[in-house]
Amino acid sequence: MLTRALVCGYMAAARLLELWRSRGNIDASGPVREGEWSRRTFPLVVALHACVIGGTFLLGGERVRRPWLALLVLVQPLRAWVLATLGRRWNARAAVPVAMEVAAEGPYAFVRHPNYAVVAVELFCLPAAFGLWPLAAAASAANAVLLAPRIREEEALLAQLPGYSERFEGKKRFVPGLA
């Protein structure tokens, strides 16, 4: 119970901090463009994360599946690298500042959407680490349904920025060389 509480507490605190940081970044970025799908489904994305974290805390078993917990822990530095690379350009809404400079360094030197890859790992690994296989599968499926159109919209907005298409041509979305 203690491990589950600590892990879920960390994940909840991290998501709340990111929502606060995201709002500040959007407010400071000037005019932004956001796709209709992203705008309409953002509350569902937040609810999905809350349900996975809360569900894992309330329903998770006592036995920790160490490989899944290890993978969850191992992707946290990648998330930090994404946030540090984007700085004030990052937000949780897929809102693209009109005057944003395209990031092609850090993890973006390898893939177009490293943060979405981290989110996918987290939404599966958190419940899987505590034996909640149906929640891990459902969360992953819901995440895919919510993010697939959002990513297409976001990429269309990013393509309007100078240099985006040239810098990301041929780069995979999530995993170098795979997807």
Q: If you average pLDDT over every residue of the chain, what do you get?
A: 94
Distance of CA 24 to the CA centre of its chain: 17
Q: What is the pLDDT of residues 50-74, one digit of tens each?
A: 999 999 999 999 899 999 999 999 9
* Backbone phi, psi, residue 33, to 5°: -115, 135
62 lies in a domain?
yes
Q: What is the mean pLDDT of residues 23-35?
A: 93
Cβ-contact 27, 92 below 8 angstroms: no
Whether the predicted pLDDT of 178 surpasses 80: no
Determine the structural domain holding residue 124 and report its residue range: 2-168
This prediction's pTM = 0.92
Instruction: Look at residue 14 and tell me if it is in a domain.
Output: yes
Q: With b meaning 16 or more CB within 10 Å and e meaning fewer, what string describes 10-47?
A: ebeebbeebeeebeebbeebeebbbbebbeebbeebee
In this prediction, residues 108-117 reach a mean pLDDT of 94
What CATH number does the domain containing 65 carry?
Answer: 1.20.120.1630
The verdict on residue 178 lying in a domain is no
Domain count, the chain: 1
Q: Residue type at 16?
A: L
Residue 44 lies in a domain: yes
Does residue 59 fall inside a structural domain? yes
Residue 120: is its pLDDT beyond 90?
A: yes
Tell whether 173 is covered by a domain: no
Give residue 22's pLDDT: 96
pLDDT reported for residue 174: 86
Query: Do the domain assignments include residue 100?
Result: yes
Q: For residue 1, what pLDDT is reported?
A: 83
pLDDT score of 56? 98
pLDDT for the residue 119: 97
Mean pLDDT for 135-150 is 97
pLDDT of residue 176: 80
Q: What is the mean pLDDT of residues 108-121?
A: 95
For 79, what's the count of Cα atoms within 13 Å in the CB-facing half-sphere? 18
Using 50, 70 and 90 to split pLDDT, how confident is the model at 38?
A: very high
